[in-house]
Amino acid sequence: MLPPAPDAVDALARLLRDRRTVVLSGAGISTESGIPDYRGPDRRDRPHRPITYQQFVRSEEARRRYWARSLLGWPRMRGARPNAGHRSLAELERAGRILGTITQNVDGLHQAGGSREVIELHGSLGRVRCLDCGTLEPRDALQRRLLARNPGWRAASAAALPDGDADLPADALRGFQPVVCARCAGMLKPDVVFFGENVPAPRVARCRELLGGAEALLVVGSSLAVRSGLRFVEAARAAGVPVAIVNDGETRGDGLARVRLGGRLGEVLPRLAERLGTAA
């Protein structure tokens, strides 16, 4: 995709310049950090079907498959670094242009890029939660336990998939053993909202509180295909808060946006920061 024309970025800057802005971000801002997305325009393969919450809690085999794939996918997720888009949003926050960021991403790259006011709508892959006792464990610690439990397990190289997953053939699961909660031997799940699972109500309330102080909503890198994100765009529009969308591809909210432009966020957001008076 060609970069947006300078006047398109100027129009975005004019909309946001004198307005307190909240950001809603999606996977598209992290693709430039090497993390695959679900629906981006660069995907040529069939859409990835993530595990659902119901599959995970009901099937021991599904959990074994998930953790084997996660064992392979976590190092790439863990090694991802924030890009110019993340850093530009952090600069805009420090300059007082952005009130905070609601992210649909689970990779922690906004915080790594310097943003402080971040609500992780779908949780974080950096934590694991016991579904029985509620204990939280760092994902790095779980990785060490998984490796120790499976010292002889080896799998062929696997293609990276979204959200720290990896494409692993069924026969490669042979011999893999997941681990349980170190405190109560309960079921472990990444501290993220799976498909088929609801975003916790207190988290939604925090998002609505943040949006309540916004004079503009800037959507970056999200197709808004998931209802949990689209509802905030609809709420902003209903409240008379102007919406701007920057995404490399169509979104479900395009008809609600006052300003809409395409282009890679690692190019657009630094230019926006420059026009708003803070260099990223």
Catalytic residues: 122
Q: What whole-number distance in Å separates Cα of residue 79 and Cα of residue 75?
A: 6
Q: Token pair of 96, please?
A: 């007082």
Q: What whole-number distance in Å separates Cα of residue 68 and Cα of residue 153?
A: 10
Radius of gyration of the chain measured on its C-alpha atoms: 20
* Matching residue, tokens 């464990």: 137
Residues 6+ apart with CB under 8 A from 257: 219, 243, 244, 245
Give CA separation, 26 vs 141, 170, 211, 221, in Å.
27, 30, 17, 5
Alpha helices in 80-226 (DSSP H): 84-94, 109-112, 139-149, 201-212
Residues 6+ apart with CB under 8 A from 144: none
Give CA separation, 16 vs 63, 159, 204, 280, in Å.
45, 39, 24, 17
Assign residue 106 a region (left: φ > 0; alpha: ψ between -120 and 50; beta: otherwise): alpha
Q: What whole-number distance in Å separates Cα of residue 117 and Cα of residue 211?
A: 12
Element (H, E) at 64: helix 60-79
Question: What length is written for the chain?
Answer: 280
The angle that helices 60-79 and 139-149 make with each other, rounded to 10 degrees, is: 120
